[in-house]
Amino acid sequence: MANLLRLDKRAAIVAALCEGNSARSTSRLAGVSYDTVAKLGLELGEECIRYMDANLRNLPCRRLEVDEIWAFCYCKAKNVPPDKAGMLGFGDLWAYTAIDPESKLIPAFLIGHRDTEHATAFMKDSASRLAKRIALVTDGHRMYLEAVESAFGSEVDFAQLIKEFKAGPPDPDHRYSPQPCVRQMKAIITGSINPAEVSTSLVERSNLTVRMMMRRYTRLTNGFSKRLRNHIAAFGLFTFHYNYVRIHRSLRVTPCMAAGVTSRLWSAEDVIALLPDTVTREEARALQKTTERGDTTI
């Protein structure tokens, strides 16, 4: 079982997964079986999601940028079996994320379809985590109009950055790149917002970080998720590591420290300690000393 591994071995597995390695390459680097890596990633990712759901509350964010990033699960949409068509976890998946441009915190995410139902669920979850009125910016997708209205009502300063892209088929040499943006417009939907703050640049840069640091989002590989539960857990582990463990280069602290969620820098060992019945490094040392003394009372 994963929780019987030495603490340093589990820390190495978590570090490798959060640095963009696949589960199989991580198993080779750490010298453990693939099933051990998969089990640890699944259990720890779900614990990370539960911890963030409980603790990322009453956040002091002043602004949020929202976007969604594409991936797929089980198989590409064109190859989904007819009996599984339209089911979540088979074909296209979209990860909704929000980022605070000031603290770089990702307060919420949701894996679902690119539709009004899932956009609304994500916006309601995001709204429940905030302490005050915010300035919210999304792209020009129409689903956000109803989603933001349902989640915030009029208690938000909401704007959309609407982009128009070059028409026609893509250049064969750049078929995996988006078409060039020929024009963008800033539309104030609700409230009052500084036009200079109407941007999605940071959340789009965050999407790049997702693709760089999570193997399941690397394009043109077979590292995609085969099961929805594992996909969600992997995204939860990545988000927790980004928020609590990884020092942001421009801030010199983690996003959670910048947002006042925590006052300390978390380590991989701290993340692993979220698992129930996990022996920490300090407890292992104390147990070793107790055993050396011959004292069996703990």
**Span 243-249, mean pLDDT?**
95
Spatial CB neighbours of 276, under 8 Å, sequence gap ≥ 6: none
Percentage of residues of the chain with pLDDT beyond 70: 90
For residue 219, what pLDDT is reported?
84
Alpha carbons 77 and 80: distance in angstroms, whole number? 5
Q: How many domains does the chain have?
A: 1
Is position 279 within any domain? no
Quote the mean pLDDT of the chain.
89
* 95 — pLDDT class (breaks 50, 70, 90): very high
Is position 264 within any domain? yes
Is position 291 within any domain? no
Pairing between strand 109-112 and 63-73?
A: unpaired
For residue 2, what pLDDT is reported?
45
For residue 288, what pLDDT is reported?
44
For residue 282, what pLDDT is reported?
54
For residue 181, what pLDDT is reported?
78
**Span 153-169, mean pLDDT?**
87
Spatial CB neighbours of 63, under 8 Å, sequence gap ≥ 6: 100, 101, 102, 134, 135, 136, 137, 197
At 4, list the tokens. Answer: 């019987």
**Span 120-127, mean pLDDT?**
97
For residue 183, what pLDDT is reported?
83
pLDDT of 298 > 50? The answer is no
* 39 — pLDDT class (breaks 50, 70, 90): very high
Is position 110 within any domain? yes
Lowest mean pLDDT of 170-174, 237-241, 262-266, name the range: 170-174
26: closest CA among 220, 228, 244, 237? 237
**Span 40-49, mean pLDDT?**
96
259: closest CA among 45, 56, 94, 90? 56
For residue 119, what pLDDT is reported?
97
| Burial class, 223, CB count within 10 angstroms (exposed 0-12 / middle 13-18 / buried 19+) | middle
Is position 33 within any domain? yes
CA torsion sign for 63, 126, 141, 114 is positive
Quote the radius of gyration of the chain (alpha carbons, Å). 21
Count how many Cα atoms sit within 13 Å of the Cα of residue 144 in the half-sphere of its side chain: 21
Is position 24 within any domain? yes
pTM of the model: 0.88
For residue 286, what pLDDT is reported?
53
Is position 193 within any domain? yes
Q: Scan for tokens 């068509």, then name that residue.
A: 85
Partners of 63 in the β-ladder? 135
For residue 94, what pLDDT is reported?
96
**Span 81-97, mean pLDDT?**
95
Alpha carbons 129 and 61: distance in angstroms, whole number? 9
pLDDT of 45 > 60? The answer is yes
The pLDDT tens digits of the residues spanning 8-23 come to 899 999 999 999 899 9
The pLDDT tens digits of the residues spanning 182-238 come to 788 999 999 999 998 999 999 999 999 999 999 899 888 888 899 999 999 999 999
Is position 261 within any domain? yes
**Parent domain of 143:** 2-272
Question: Is residue 172 left, alpha or beta, with left meaning phi > 0 and alpha meaning psi from -120 to 50?
Answer: alpha
Count how many Cα atoms sit within 13 Å of the Cα of residue 82 in the half-sphere of its side chain: 0
